[in-house]
Amino acid sequence: MKRNIISSLFIIIGLVLMVSSLGIRMYSKNKEAQLIKEFNNDIALENSKNDDKNHDKNYGKQKRKTIRYTNGDGDKIAIMEIPSISLQSIIVEGTNMDDLRYYLGHFKDTAMPGINGNFSIAGHSSTIYNEILNELYKVNIKDEIKIKTLTGEYDYIITKKFVVEPSEIGVLDQDENKKSMTIVTCTDKGKKRLIVKAEMKK
C-alpha cells in the first residue's frame, strides 16, 4: 500500500513538472512573439519616416551610430531569421540571464549588424525556457542568416560550425576588416559551446 502511494506521488510530481515546463515554454514563446510584433511595427514606422520627402537624408547614418552606442540592457536591436531551420527570434542588447530565458542576447562591445567587426549573439538551447537555438546544430555551411534592424536588413552566410570549451572566448574577437557574425549556444548538456560563424554577403 505504502509503495503504491509513493509511486502515485512520483507520477503526480512528474505530471506537475511536465505541465509547469510546458507552461513556461508557452509563456516564453508568447512573450517573444509579442516582442517580434512590436519590433516589426517599429521597422514599419521607421520605413515610413524614410519615405517622407522632408526626412533628413542623413537620418539613417545618425540612427546607425545611435543604435550602436545607446542601447540599454534588454532593448530590442534586431530580428534574426535562419530559414533552413525555420527560426525567427528577437535579439536584445546584453546577455542578462533573465533576458536570455526568452530572447537572443547581443554581446556588449561587439559589432552591431551590418558594420565591420564581429556581431556576436548568444541564446539558450533549453527544454525549460524558450528553446530558441535547440536546432542550431542542424544548420549547414552556406545556409543564410537574415538580420532585420531599424536601419536595414543584412544577409549573412554561414561559414563555420564547431564546438569549443566554455572558456574559449576568442570566438568573440573583433576583426575590423570584415563584417562577420558569431552565434553561441550550449551543447553537450551545457558542458560545451556550439559556435556558428557567418560573414555578411557582399
The yes-or-no answer on residue 124 being catalytic is yes
d(Cα 118, Cα 96) in Å, to the nearest integer?
A: 20
Catalytic-labelled residue, pool 186, 187, 192, 199: 186
Whose grid coordinates read 532585420?
A: 148
* 3-state DSSP assignment of residue 111: coil
d(Cα 116, Cα 200) in Å, to the nearest integer?
A: 10
The yes-or-no answer on residue 91 being catalytic is no
b/e code 76-90 from CB counts within 10 Å (16+ = b):
bbbbbbbeeeebebb
- From 92, 98, 65, 96, select the one nearest 80 (Cα to Cα): 92
Q: Which cell numbers hold the place of 129?
A: 525556457
Catalytic-labelled residue, pool 124, 179, 193, 197: 124
Identity at 144, one-letter amino acid code: E
- From 24, 20, 183, select the one nearest 105 (Cα to Cα): 183
Q: Which cell numbers hold the place of 42?
A: 517599429
Q: Which residues are catalytic?
A: 124, 186
